[in-house]
Amino acid sequence: MGYEPSQGRTYGPFTKGIAPNGPPGGAEPVLAYQLTLTDDGTTTAGVSGFAVVFYDTSGSEDGSDKQATADTFIVPGQALSWIVVASAALNGSWTGDLGRIPDSAATCQLVQWYRAS
């Protein structure tokens, strides 16, 4: 879990941790998460999407998000990362992205990854 400062539709860089209360450097913080999948097996794995669940600071489930990705493959020993940005900035303005990240989310965990055929 983390955030990305945004200025319009320009984001970045991804920063782990809690988003600041005020805009950092004039940019509105947008909740985001980074998911990294690593192929530690012996065969190539196909990926077409993933699902995560969010938890608040007390550890209670707080929501979920499902993302489709372009079909891609991870070879043994390789890792691929995706950054998902929330659909609204913390001030409520719409970002146009599709991530459904609850404002109270403190952590997230991979629930399932979908295999490309």
Place of tokens 């699902």: 51
Q: Report the predicted TM-score, pTM, of the whole model to 2 decimal places.
A: 0.77
Domain boundaries, the chain: 2-114
Measured CA to CA, the distance from residue 114 to residue 93 in angstroms comes to 31
**Helix, strand or coil, per DSSP, at residue 114:** strand
CB 34 within 8 A of CB 14: yes
CATH 2.60.40 fits 2-114, yes or no: yes
pLDDT of residue 25: 60
pLDDT of residue 51: 92
pLDDT digits (tens, 9 = 90+) for 44-86: 999 999 999 999 999 999 889 998 888 899 999 999 999 888 8
Q: Of 32-41, 58-67, 84-93, which gets the smallest average pLDDT? A: 84-93
Alpha carbon 45 to chain centroid distance? Answer: 21
15 pLDDT band, cuts 50/70/90, is: confident
**Helix, strand or coil, per DSSP, at residue 107:** strand
pLDDT digits (tens, 9 = 90+) for 96-113: 556 778 888 888 999 998
